[in-house]
Amino acid sequence: MKKTQQILTLVLSLGFIAVFAAWFWILPDADESTVERRHLAKCPTLSFSSVANGSFVNGFENYMLDQFPLRDGFRTLKAAANAKVFMQKDNNGLYSVGEHLSKLDFPTDFDSVDRAAQRFRYVYDAYLRNSGTKTYLSVIPDKNVFIASPNGYPDKDYKAIVKRLENGFPEARHIDISGLLSADDFYYTDSHWRQERILKVADEIADKMGTERMGKCEKHDAGVSFYGVYYGQAALPHAPERLFYLDNAVIRSLKVYNAETSSDIPVYDLSAAAGRDPYEMFLGGARSIIRITNPNAAKERRLIVFRDSFGSSIAPLLTAGYSEITLVDIRYISPSSLGKQIDFTKTDDALFLYSASVINNSETIK
């Protein structure tokens, strides 16, 4: 090694380390990462016990990783190296097909499907079996169903999941919506479906439940650039999307009550659209119990929807034929306590509406 090469090596390498080390200590700590949608670790408290039990060390390592200068840029560098140098087809499980980003979700976990069926049957046996309620089941094919297998990516077996769930929960009548959807009905950078594209699904469900369709809606732009949850995880550049919502006289008249906070909330919260998770603009996002009242319903008819986050955007489109819809997310509330908060004797219809992804990873269902 020549002397100039030696000097250049030391100046560049040690300089790089020294600059980033100094930058890390000088840089004020950030509270959260917008693109990753999470709070960033803070410097742990130094004490004898925290050092002895290892919590300080673990906390400090996480703190350095989270607060490192140019963190997002480094994550992009890693994702680019992974894709362009090693030509790996996914980065931390995230892959892209055309404009679509998605997360690998395989193999099919039949134990998980059975568990979901068992939890649904528990709800049915406890509250619905003797109340004369008609019960329906629909499994939303997530984006992977449309883009994974055709492009060589492994995926869970959607059809097998539906069949297994139907067999495990025979009391519910299955509503097949898989033929109505395609990849473009989902956001490019998010797992969820686009509300402006699922009116056909809501109509199909309404038809199968023997109730009124929503009818024509106006499409509105929420006025924000939408980056979905996969955008931050993928750490690669991607164009933003528009976030649209559907509206008409029926939807505008709806009253929404959040049982968690005992307060009224809007159907579409446009301020949430500009927040950390824009999809929360639909009925406030993840909530355990939401009650929607339709004062203009032609007759009294009540529906309970057991749902995951996909249910937030479709629920307003199901309201035309019902005077009241209750949305229940049993990932956030134990089914055993539902009887205290919901009068099941007045329920005409019950719909279990879950994405295949949640059914295949049902450990979140209580």
106 belongs to the binding site for other proteins (CB under 8 A):
yes
Cis amide bond preceding 295, omega within 30? no
8 belongs to the binding site for other proteins (CB under 8 A):
yes
Residues 198-237 that bind other proteins (CB under 8 A): 235
89 belongs to the binding site for other proteins (CB under 8 A):
yes
**Angstrom distance (rounded) from CA 150 to CA 361:** 22
End-to-end CA distance of the chain: 64
86 belongs to the binding site for other proteins (CB under 8 A):
yes
Least separation in angstroms between CB 14 and other proteins: 7
Other beta carbons less than 10 A from residue 163's beta carbon = 13
CA distances from residue 213 to 185, 194, 197, 208 in whole angstroms, order as listed: 20, 18, 15, 10
User: Which is nearest to 265 in space by CA: 273, 249, 254?
Assistant: 254
With beta carbons less than 8 A apart as the criterion, state whether 345 and 332 touch.
Answer: no
**Angstrom distance (rounded) from CA 173 to CA 299:** 23
Q: Which is nearer to other proteins, 88 or 225 (CB)?
A: 88
Query: Given candidates 153, 184, 224, 266, which one binds other proteins under the rule CB under 8 A?
Result: 153
33 belongs to the binding site for other proteins (CB under 8 A):
no
88 belongs to the binding site for other proteins (CB under 8 A):
yes
CA distances from residue 272 to 238, 278, 281 in whole angstroms, order as listed: 22, 6, 5
Query: Given candidates 14, 27, 43, 46, which one binds other proteins under the rule CB under 8 A?
Result: 14
- What is the x/- site pattern for other proteins, positions 34-73, by CB under 8 A? -----------------xx-x--xx-xx--xx--x--x--
Query: Given candidates 27, 77, 249, 298, which one binds other proteins under the rule CB under 8 A?
Result: 77
Taking phi over 0 as left and psi of -120 to 50 as alpha, with beta for the rest, 152 belongs to: left
Residues 111-150 that bind other proteins (CB under 8 A): 149
Least separation in angstroms between CB 154 and other proteins: 4
Where does this chain bind other proteins (CB under 8 A)?
1-14, 16-18, 20-21, 24, 51-52, 54, 57-58, 60-61, 64-65, 68, 71, 74-75, 77-79, 81, 85-90, 92, 106-107, 149, 152-154, 235
